[in-house]
Amino acid sequence: MIQFVNVSKIYNNKVVALRDINIKIEKGEFVFLIGSSGAGKSTFVRLIFKEEEPSRGQILIANRSINRLKKKDVSILRRNIGVVFQDYSLLNDRSVYDNVAFALEVMEYPGKIIRQRVPEVLEMVGLAGKADCLPTQLSGGEQQRAAIARAIVNGPQILLADEPTGNLDPDTAWGIMEILNDINRRGTTVIMATHAVDIVNKMRKRLIALERGEVVRDEERGVYKDEV
Amino acid sequence: MKFRTIGYYFKQAFKSMRRNFWMSVAAVSTVAIAAFLVGIFALLVTNVNFMATKLESDIEVVAFVEVDVPRSEVLQLEEQIRSLPGIASVTLVPKEQGLEQMYARYGRDRDLLGALGGDNPLPDYFVVKAREPDRVGRIAGQLAQIPQIYKVDYGQQEVERLFQVLGWVRWAGSALILLLVGAAVFLIATTVRLTVFARRRELQIMKLVGASDWFIRWPFFLEGFFLGAFGAALACLALYFGYFSLLDQVTTNISFLALVTDRAAVYEILWKLLAGGAAVGALGSIISMRRFLKV
Pairwise CA distance, residues B20 & B27, whole Å: 11
∠ CA(B268), CA(B27), CA(B246), 5° rounding? 40
Q: Are residue B137 and residue B245 in the same domain, yes or no?
A: no
β-partners of residue A209 are A34, A217
Among the three residues B154, B179, B213, which one is the final residue of a domain in this structure?
Answer: B154
Q: What is the domain range of residue B84?
A: 60-154
The length of chain A, given as a count of residues: 228
* CB-based contact B209 A79, cutoff 8 Å: yes
What's the confidence (pLDDT) of residue B292?
A: 64
| CA–CA min distance A91, chain B (Å) | 7
SS3 B222: helix
Report yes or no: A61 at the B interface, CB cutoff 8 Å: no
**What is the rounded average pLDDT of the residues A125-135?**
92
What's the confidence (pLDDT) of residue B129?
A: 83
* CB-based contact A91 B207, cutoff 8 Å: no
Alpha-carbon A71 to chain mean position: 21
Q: Does residue A139 belong to any structural domain of this protein?
A: yes
A23 membership: H or E segment, kind and range? strand A16-25
Indicate whether A228 pLDDT > 50.
no
Q: B21 exposed, middle or buried (CB, 10 Å; 0-12, 13-18, 19+)? A: exposed
Q: What ranges in chain B are assigned the alpha helix state H?
A: 3-19, 21-58, 71-82, 95-106, 136-145, 156-198, 200-208, 213-253, 263-292
Q: Does residue A145 belong to any structural domain of this protein?
A: yes
Q: Are residue B272 and residue B176 in the same domain, yes or no?
A: yes
Pairwise CA distance, residues B51 & B254, whole Å: 14
Q: Are residue B260 and residue B216 in the same domain, yes or no?
A: yes
Q: Are residue B109 and residue B184 in the same domain, yes or no?
A: no
| CA–CA min distance A92, chain B (Å) | 10
Per residue in A32-67, pLDDT (tens digit) is 999 888 888 999 999 999 988 899 999 999 888 998
CB A168 within 8 A of CB A176: yes
Alpha-carbon B194 to chain mean position: 37
Per residue in B59-70, pLDDT (tens digit) is 778 888 888 888
Among the three residues B112, B137, B154, which one is the final residue of a domain in this structure?
Answer: B154
Q: What is the domain range of residue A104?
A: 92-150
CA of B199: which chain A residue's CA is closest?
Answer: A91
What's the confidence (pLDDT) of residue B156?
A: 67
Q: Does residue A67 belong to any structural domain of this protein?
A: no
Q: Are residue B179 and residue B288 in the same domain, yes or no?
A: yes
How many interface pairs between A and B have CB atoms less than 8 angstroms apart?
Answer: 50
Residue type, B130: A
**What is the rounded average pLDDT of the residues B253-274?**
82
Report yes or no: A76 at the B interface, CB cutoff 8 Å: yes
Quick one: CA dihedral B223, B225, B228, B232, positive or negative?
negative
Per residue in B143-182, pLDDT (tens digit) is 888 888 888 887 666 767 777 877 887 788 788 878 888 8
Q: Are residue B110 and residue B182 in the same domain, yes or no?
A: no
| CA–CA min distance A103, chain B (Å) | 6
Q: Are residue B212 and residue B92 in the same domain, yes or no?
A: no
- For residue B109, the domain's CATH number is 3.30.70.3040
Q: Are residue B262 and residue B222 in the same domain, yes or no?
A: yes
* CB-based contact B4 A89, cutoff 8 Å: no
* CB-based contact A102 B211, cutoff 8 Å: no
DSSP B69: -
Q: Does residue A27 belong to any structural domain of this protein?
A: no
User: Dihedrals φ, ψ of B123, to 5°?
Assistant: -85, 160
Q: Which residues of A touch B206 (CB under 8 A)?
A: 102, 106
Q: Does residue A40 belong to any structural domain of this protein?
A: no
For chain B, the domain total comes to 2
Q: Does residue A121 belong to any structural domain of this protein?
A: yes
Q: Are residue B39 and residue B97 in the same domain, yes or no?
A: no
Q: Which residues of A touch B208 (CB under 8 A)?
A: 49, 51, 78, 83, 89
For chain A, the domain total comes to 1
Pairwise CA distance, residues B5 & B3, whole Å: 5
Q: Are residue B186 and residue B285 in the same domain, yes or no?
A: yes
Per residue in B111-126, pLDDT (tens digit) is 766 777 667 778 888 8
Q: Are residue B172 and residue B148 in the same domain, yes or no?
A: no
CA of A88: which chain B residue's CA is closest?
Answer: B205
CB B293 within 8 A of CB B200: no
Q: Which residues of B touch A71 (CB under 8 A)?
A: 213
Strands across the sheet containing A64-65: A16-25, A2-10, A56-61, A64-65
| CA–CA min distance A58, chain B (Å) | 21
* CB-based contact A111 B4, cutoff 8 Å: yes
Q: Which residues of B touch A147 (CB under 8 A)?
A: none
Q: Are residue B222 and residue B95 in the same domain, yes or no?
A: no
Q: Does residue A110 belong to any structural domain of this protein?
A: yes
Longest Cα pair distance anywhere in chain A, in angstroms? 52
User: Dihedrals φ, ψ of B125, to 5°?
Assistant: -145, 160
∠ CA(B111), CA(B115), CA(B116), 5° rounding? 115
Report yes or no: A105 at the B interface, CB cutoff 8 Å: yes
Of B5, B8, B209, the CB nearest to A103: B209
**What is the rounded average pLDDT of the residues A13-28?**
90
| CA–CA min distance A77, chain B (Å) | 7
Q: Does residue A191 belong to any structural domain of this protein?
A: no
CB B65 within 8 A of CB B150: yes
